[in-house]
Amino acid sequence: PLIILNPGASYGPSKRWHAENYAELAILLQDRKKAEILITGSKGESKLVESIASLMTKKPFNLTGKTNLRLLAGLISNADLFITNDSGPMHIANALKIPVIAIFGPTNPSFTGPFQQPAAVIKKDVPCWPCSYRECPFDHRCMISIDPEEVFEACQEFL
C-alpha cells in the first residue's frame, strides 16, 4: 500500500506528533504491511521531515516542499491511507474520501474534522484538553501519550 505521512501543522508545534513517533509508525507500516511511505509537507517543514527520514531504516519518498496544492491533492488521491496531524491536507484527503488517520493534540476534532468517513481520529483525553494553544505550556501530554503502536492498530482498519 502507498501511505502518505503529513507530519506538519502550520498552526504551531503543539499540533505536531513528534518526529520519533512518526518514524516508529513508518517502520511498523513498512515492516508489517510492506507499505511504501511518502512524506509531504511545506518547505518550512523540511527539518522535521529530515529528522523522521533519518530515523527510518528504509528511506521514504520525500516530497516536502516540492508540491503545490494541485499536485498534493493528486498525490493524496492515489494514496491508500493518509496519516496526519490536524492540518489542511487532512481536509483534502477527507474530501477525496481517502482513508485518514488524524492525530489530534490540543484541538477538538468535533470542530476541525475530519467530517466524513473513512477516517479515524486518535486523541487522548488529558486534563488540559482542549487548550488550542500553539505551543504547549506544559509537557505536551496530549501528543506524548499517543503511542505509535496504537496508531498502527488504527491503520489496520483501512489496510
Reported as a single tens digit per residue, the pLDDT across 47-95 is: 999 999 999 999 999 999 999 999 999 999 999 999 999 899 999 999 9
Assign 138 a pLDDT band (cuts: 50, 70, 90): confident
User: Is the pLDDT score of 29 beyond 80?
Assistant: yes
Reported as a single tens digit per residue, the pLDDT across 116-134 is: 999 999 998 877 677 666 6
- β-pairing, 119-122 with 100-103? parallel
Instruction: Give the range of the structural domain holding residue 28, as residue numbers without chain letter.
Output: 2-156
Whether 79 contacts 93, CB under 8 Å: yes
Q: What is the mean pLDDT of the chain?
A: 90
Whether 22 contacts 99, CB under 8 Å: no
Q: How many domains is the chain partitioned into structurally? A: 1
Domain containing 60 — which CATH number?
3.40.50.2000
